[in-house]
Amino acid sequence: MNTISDTILKRIRAKQRGWVFTPKDFLDLATRGAVDNILSRLVKKGVIRRIDKGIYDFPRSNSAIGKLSPNIDDLAKAVAKKSGDKIFPSGAMAANLLGFSTQVPAKASYLTDGISKDKKVGNRTISFKHARVPFVDDISFDANLALQALSYMGKNNIDDGIIQICTQKLSKHDILSLNKAAKSMPAWLVTTIHKLQDRING
């Protein structure tokens, strides 16, 4: 193996079993063509697995059933990295994570700043839906999670209980930072943010 191959293999092993990746994860080491050739050789040797075009994993295995399927969240992130889109937990998932809802989404679904689509990756299908409220780059993950969860719940389902959960789950800084997304929010969501801010200031 040449030095670049050794370095790529070392990076893969450092990430440990289960890592899902794309050639983009190695473009700091070599050209796309060189990376593709090295990854193809590693697939043939059985070191890594090609899941879909341009998506690979360093598979976990079980002595009884062999190679295990990759984590669906890791697959979704790899698909997004390949396309250059940003993704985020779906509104339903965000609502569940924040405690707005006890319903656990049955389908692997994510919000994206790209186009809505269902993407089949290997033998699994992941749904990507264009976010109604854009992701905000300079606020925290939790603040973005609250935006998507509130948008999912909708104007008529935001009550005092939801407001209270937000004030408990988010820091004061997170709540104040939500103003940064105000220009892209519907009016009712801006009003909800103001209620949150009044609660923490009151």
Mean pLDDT of the region 190-200: 90
Cβ 74 vs Cβ 19: under 8 Å = yes
User: 122 versus 155: which is more confidently predicted?
Assistant: 155
**Average pLDDT over the chain, rounded to whole?**
89
pTM (2 d.p.): 0.76
pLDDT value of residue 1: 47
Domain extent at residue 56: 3-67
Domain identity same for 87 and 122: yes
Look at residue 2 and tell me whether its pLDDT is greater than 70: no
Identify the sign of the CA torsion 42, 46, 50, 56.
Answer: negative
Is 107 found in the same domain as 28?
A: no
Same domain, 154 and 96: yes
- pLDDT on residue 124: 84
Instruction: Point out the domain boundary residue: 67, 87, 111.
Output: 67
Whether residues 110 and 181 fall in one domain: yes
Closest by Cα among 143, 148, 115, 146 to 133: 148
Does residue 182 carry a pLDDT above 60? Answer: yes
Strand order across the 20-21 sheet: 20-21, 55-57, 49-52
